[in-house]
Structure 1
Amino acid sequence: MTLSHKFITLSVTALLLTACGGSKETENHGESADLSAIEQDTIAVTVDDTTKFKFDFAIANIPSPATSMQELGTWGVPYDNSILNNPKNTSKYTTEYQRSINLGVYNIDMAYAMTCDKGPDVLQYMKNILMLSDALGLKGAVDMMVGKRAESNLNSKDSLFKILDEIFVKSDSYLRTNERVYTAATVFAGSWLESLYLTCKISGQLTDPASIEKSHKHLWEQRLHLGNLINLLGDYKDKKECAELIKDLTPINDEIKAIKQPTEMTPDKFNSISSKIYALRNKLTSN
């Protein structure tokens, strides 16, 4: 599938906020993202240093959700958009929290569709993502951070995903207030949850023992990343919806942590954890 100039540029904008992993490789193709515009933001810096550190630590130590989607594309399971969040649900998300969570969810769905070269679905998700970004007041900042850099990487999805990871790491200047970090944290939570949801869904269709083992190990590894996410969200537990999210995430984390080695992740344990992930994901996307 050949991606058009406009298609890639808009995809970069839409994917930016949730391509949040530890990758810090630098692409040398084209111009660097122009982050100077963000520095002109006149909003006073009020973000708590400890909260900011927790956010940076969480995204620096979790595998990129975008990279996880690329991995799923190699498992040989036929693409099925019925397991993704229906784009028609966008109009139901009217609160900041709902929009943030589902911006993360939709970004991962679009990344998966992009990995599988499903252009029509990518375009549909892109439209919804841009609508949510605009509603959250994020679209302008994302546009400024992208700059012209992506235009020199139009034909390489691998390069695109690496650029997305790197730009997110360098976008600290946008996170000036606790409310902005909270928005970013909930987008991040939505991305993490949808990435794991799709991993579990697709794993259920695998027949190759090696791939099944890999998917089980991936779920087991989430005990570290989920713990960091819960720790970050804990700074906002005074918010009702965040306290509820922590309450829903904690038993998932406890069940994963109870498994001491990846080899102990039996099918029954995998299915038990997966069912909790499905329930939470469906709860957050159906609101």
Structure 2
Amino acid sequence: MRLVTFTRAGQVRQEVGALDAEGAVLDLCAVEPLLRGQTMIDVAAGEPALLDKLRQAAAKAPVVVDAKLCAPIPRTPKNIFCVGKNYHEHAKEFAGSGFDGGAKDVVPPFPVVFSKPHTAIIADGEPILGHLDPTGGLDYEGELGVVIGKGGRGISKADALSHVFGYTIVNDVTARHLQKRHSQWILGKGLDSFCPMGPALLTADEVPDPTQLTLTTWVNGERRQHAPVSDLIFDIPTLIEAISAAITLEPGDLIATGTPAGVGIGFNPPVFLKTGDVVRIEVPGIGTLENRVA
């Protein structure tokens, strides 16, 4: 099931809905009163029986004709966990780009984890505020996002996927010159609007094996990235184990798993985003996340 967070025309209250096969938003609250006042985080924290109720509701729910999509999780419980250099070919292109801050390892021996603040989150169709990067080094990074359901600390790899509520798409937008200048990446990656997310959250029961997913990124219609999730250096269970070793994961926490080769700094010379460029990222089953640089 593809779940979404949306608002209605003239309202600010956010609701949880679902997408039908044509991409229309279904009004689950009209059928299932338990959903009224619930957020996507509440649903992620709920019992499996709640998902069954949502699925049953989706079969009978009317379409919301004036729906506007928000990010599936407009405000995560804490900063978004992001993983750097987690595809082999991207690790190589980043090492050779001159933007890696002098790192010695092309392929990191352990996951490289950093964060973005929740204020970076925007929805499908909302503008990336390119002017917030005064250095002219705006870049894209299409990524698979993992949304935590059942929380915990010290989660083992063997149990990790049972803690996943669903999957979404993330664009880890980056100001490359700021990333290099500050060494620690949050100031280059955490600017407002630098975390487009969506359009939907595909529940984990629809994805028995996330390594079978593929991710593709286009810029102005030109394919730049294409890779299977099976190419990850550190797979999803490894990431969950590493992060949760001493940090409690909570329902609604988001892990952006890393980007494949093909980002702007991989070109010689680098090809950075400019005003008017459109970045489109697709993961079949989840949908397409598209944002224009303002």
Larger fraction in helix: 1
- Which has the larger share of strand? 2
- TM tier relative to shorter chain: under 0.3
Q: Highest relative contact order (Cα 8 Å, sep 6+), 1 or 2?
A: 1
> TM-score if structure 2 supplies the norm length?
0.25
